[in-house]
Amino acid sequence: REPLDGPGKLLDQSTSAAYWHSQLMKYHGVDRDFLYSPLAWCAQGYPLPTISQVLQEVLTAERVIALRNRPLDPQELLDVLLKIPPLSEEQTKKLLEWYESTYPLAKTRAEKTKADAEFRERLAAIEAKKNEQKKKKK
């Protein structure tokens, strides 16, 4: 079992991309330049066991043998992935509540993220005012 194979673990895009890459590169017939980043983007909201399930469904023994003559297309994986519903909003909420109660820095991180977003908005507003003043001077 893989460390992240626990039930209900939501992924960020970079973790998902790393997982897709590690799982796909186990198959020698898969092109080393395979585009797994778009798959990772589409798989946000899906737990790792779901990604493993998709790979098992698509990469059957027959399909692995055929990889030499017919390279793997990301659309094959995406078609199977999109048939599986992502975690519900209730499941996501439970996971976030657990995360916030388990990790003491979760609240601090959320506050910092919010403060950073507000700071970026203020900077954008200041920049917009400067641009308007420059246009008026011309």
What is the per-residue pLDDT across 44-62, written as a single tens digit (0 to 9) for each?
878 888 899 999 999 999 9
Copy the structure tokens of residue 134.
């420059």
Q: What average pLDDT score do residues 124-128 get? A: 92
- What is d(CA 64, CA 112) in angstroms, rounded to the nearest whole number? 46
Residue 68 has pLDDT above 70, yes or no: yes
72 CB neighbour count, 10 Å cutoff: 19
| Cβ-based neighbours of 13, under 8 Å, separated by 6 or more | 40, 41, 44
Tell me the percentage of the chain whose pLDDT exceeds 70.
92
